[in-house]
Amino acid sequence: MKETARQPEAPDFAALRDLVDREAVDTVMLAVPDMLGRLKGKRIDADHFVDRVVTGGGDMCAYVLATDVDMRPLDGFTLSSADTGYGDVSLLPDPGASYQLAWMRRTALVFADAIGHDGGPVSVAPRQILQRQLDRLTARGITARVGLETEFVLTYADTANPHHRALRPVFDRNLDYALDHPPVLTRFFEDLQECLVGMGWPVEAVKTEGGRGQVEVTFPYGNPLRAADLHLLFQHAARTLAEQAGLVANFMAAPATGTGSSCHIHLSLLDRNGVPLFAETEGRMPDAVRYAVGGLLDTMPHLGLLYAPTVNSYKRYVPGTFAPTTFTWGRDNRTCAIRIVGRGDNLHLENRLPGADTNPYLALAATLAAVLAGLDHKSEPPQPYIGSAFDDPDAPPVPGSLQEALDAFPNCPLPAQDLLTADVAAHYTTAARHELDVHRITVTDLDLQRGLPAP
């Protein structure tokens, strides 16, 4: 199957050209998602973008796709290293992913695909990893629709506290499903929703959660690539608006001990005629649901690096916190990793494993590859779980650490060509090892707290 760099949703940049001509946009940010799901790129003069970059493309140092949270150049990556001279990749703007940003003056953002020296897409780029799975679905006449449901914590900023230690949350009690919010939070919600509506992408719902300062945002169903793109734009908007309001938006998976923030994936599949593959018939769950669940449960124990990429990710998987601790599935059961939700034509899967720090492109790619494997091989899962799956000693446990996830990564039962090609596997294994090394040698506040004598 020939790989493609994108699924265009617009024929050209006519709409952006019109905005530039009307002086509604004077700056274009050309952006690529990095390994951690962060937007990286350049601010470009809008006239230069529509005159030159649209046809000629852009460029950036390839190390952006091979770096850690501190943007340190790292050793061991084939794509970029000192041995390769830290060369460039080309950037091909995606006409189907151009957005006018309502939270920045006269600014648009355009997603780009990273192109290697051979003229093909960079295989380890997160956007391309997801695109490969969409190509595989298309070849089978299947269309995926996903909705992301993510959480984050809002705290007050403290300029005297640059490392964000013990920041005060905007509310300090359980406000799960509450409709009476502190004024600062209400204003933030209003600004955030207004901005997202302004760019043509209203959220489905916003609610406060049980954690201190914790918020959940649910997004409408859509194309997986577009959903991932827009999720990154949402995070950019949330962080920008929070900073403007004197707040901090925290997307860590475990922002505080005992608090977990998730990024659940809701998934439906349609056949080539638009018929839902997961639809119930007279209350009977179709085989496709079981096979999809079987594929997920077979592969999830081995794909932690794609779902949960940091050391902090694994501090979320604590019993009783609504984060899964076992690889189980159940009908409307929030203690399981896979929850079957809805009725009739609306029946769908919810993957509850990813945390708020997940890279949505990688998590979606892992989910789709697993579901395809389950459908192809008619993988039968165990019986759906009834009751609490948190502490079942017989259920396969979620990895307790990034090291455990790294150890399980090479044993994934998926055929390598389906997802973990040699270059992809090596790239993300190297990233995990660097993350572990940093934590191994770093002395933390907890080390000092437990190592020094009490006063």
Domain 138-420 class, CATH top level: alpha beta
pLDDT < 50 stretches in the chain: 1-11
Nearest to 72 by CA among 428, 339, 368, 435: 435
The 3-class SS string of the chain reads CCCCCCCCCCCCCHHHHHHHHCCCCCEEEEEEECCCCCEEEEEEEHHHHHHHHHHHCEEEEHHHHCECCCCCECCCCCCCCHHHCCCEEEEEEEEEEEEECCCCCCEEEEEEEEECCCCCECCCCHHHHHHHHHHHHHHCCCEEEEEEEEEEEEEECCCCCCCCCCCCECCCCCCCCCCCCCHHHHHHHHHHHHHHHHCCCCCCEEEECCCCCEEEEECCCECHHHHHHHHHHHHHHHHHHHHHCCEEEECCCCCECCECCEEEEEEEEECCCCCECCCCECCECCHHHHHHHHHHHHHHHHCHHHHCCCCHHHHCCCCCCCCCCECCEEECCCCCCEEEECCHHHCEEEECCCECCCCHHHHHHHHHHHHHHHHHHCCCCCCCCCCCCCCCCCCCECCCCHHHHHHHHHHCCCCHHHCCCHHHHHHHHHHHHHHHHHHHHCCCHHHHHHHCCCC
Flag whether the pTM goes above 0.75.
yes
Measured in residues, the chain has a length of: 455
Beta pairing, strands 39-45 & 58-61: unpaired
Largest Cα span, the chain: 71
The predicted pLDDT at position 180 comes to: 94
pLDDT at 12: 75
Q: What is the pLDDT of residue 386?
A: 95
Give the separation between CA 33 and CA 72, rounded to whole angstroms: 16
- pLDDT score at 84: 85
Q: What pLDDT does residue 448 have?
A: 87
Query: Given this model, what pLDDT does residue 339 score?
Result: 98
* pLDDT in the model for residue 53: 97
pLDDT at 83: 83
Rg from Cα positions in the chain: 22
Domain map of the chain by residue range?
14-121, 138-420
Top CATH class of 14-121 equals alpha beta
CA of residue 141 relative to chain centroid, distance:
25
pLDDT for the residue numbered 449: 87
* pLDDT at res. 81: 83
